[in-house]
C-alpha cells in the first residue's frame, strides 16, 4: 500500500521546501529556471505563501513521515490555477506523484474557488505528460517549449 499524503505547508517545512527547490533534478524542466536560491530569497518568497496572502496553496508530499515533494497551486484570474509538482529523485517511480496530485486536486476542488486547473509541461518531460494525462488533464495548446493541459474541476470531480 502506498503511504502517500499531502499536508498544507507550514513554517516547519521551510527548510525542506528550500532543499527541494535547489535540487536540479527535482526541477529538471522549470518554467522559470533559476540556479540555486539562497535561503533568504526563499524565505522572502515563502512567508507570504504560508500566510495565505500570495495567491498560492502549497502542500508538502510525504511518504510515510518523510517529506518527499511539493505540490503548488498558483491562482490566476477566471477561476484558474496553475499546478506544479516536484518529487525528490529517490522517490520517483513509486506512484507518489499520482496519489499526491489526486489528493491535492480533491482538496482544491472542495474549496470551490477554482474551475480549471492548468499544467504547463515542458515538451521533453514525458513523465509529467503521462502523469497529467493519467489524471484526465486534456491537451489544449502549446508554444515552442511547453504543452498546456487543463482539467475542468466542475465537470470532472475525482473520487
Using H for helix, E for strand and C for coil, what is the string for 124-148? CCHHHHHHHHHCCCEEEEECCCEEE
User: How many domains is the chain built from?
Assistant: 1
Compute the average pLDDT of residues 86-115. Answer: 92
Distance from CA of residue 5 to its chain's centroid? 14
> Would you say 73 and 104 are in contact if contact means Cβ atoms under 8 Å apart?
yes
CATH number at residue 14: 3.40.630.30
Higher pLDDT, 159 or 10: 10
User: Is 98 contained in some domain?
Assistant: yes
Compute the average pLDDT of residues 5-34. Answer: 81
Structural domain for 82, as ranges: 4-152
Give the predicted TM-score (pTM) of the model: 0.88
Amino acid at each position: 500500500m502506498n503511504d502517500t499524503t499531502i499536508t498544507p505547508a507550514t513554517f516547519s517545512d521551510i527548510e525542506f521546501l528550500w532543499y527541494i527547490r535547489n535540487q536540479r533534478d527535482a526541477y529538471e524542466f522549470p518554467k522559470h529556471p533559476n540556479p540555486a536560491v539562497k535561503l533568504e530569497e526563499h524565505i522572502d518568497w515563502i512567508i507570504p505563501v504560508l500566510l495565505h496572502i500570495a495567491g498560492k496553496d502549497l502542500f508538502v508530499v510525504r511518504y510515510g513521515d518523510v517529506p518527499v515533494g511539493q505540490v503548488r497551486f498558483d491562482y490566476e484570474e477566471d477561476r484558474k490555477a496553475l499546478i506544479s509538482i516536484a518529487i525528490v529523485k529517490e522517490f520517483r517511480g513509486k506512484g507518489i506523484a499520482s496519489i499526491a496530485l489526486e489528493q491535492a486536486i480533491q482538496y482544491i476542488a472542495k474549496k470551490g474557488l477554482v474551475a480549471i486547473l492548468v499544467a504547463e509541461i515542458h515538451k521533453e518531460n514525458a513523465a509529467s505528460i503521462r502523469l497529467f494525462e493519467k489524471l484526465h488533464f486534456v491537451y489544449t495548446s502549446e508554444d515552442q517549449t511547453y504543452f498546456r493541459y487543463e482539467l475542468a474541476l466542475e465537470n470532472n470531480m475525482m473520487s
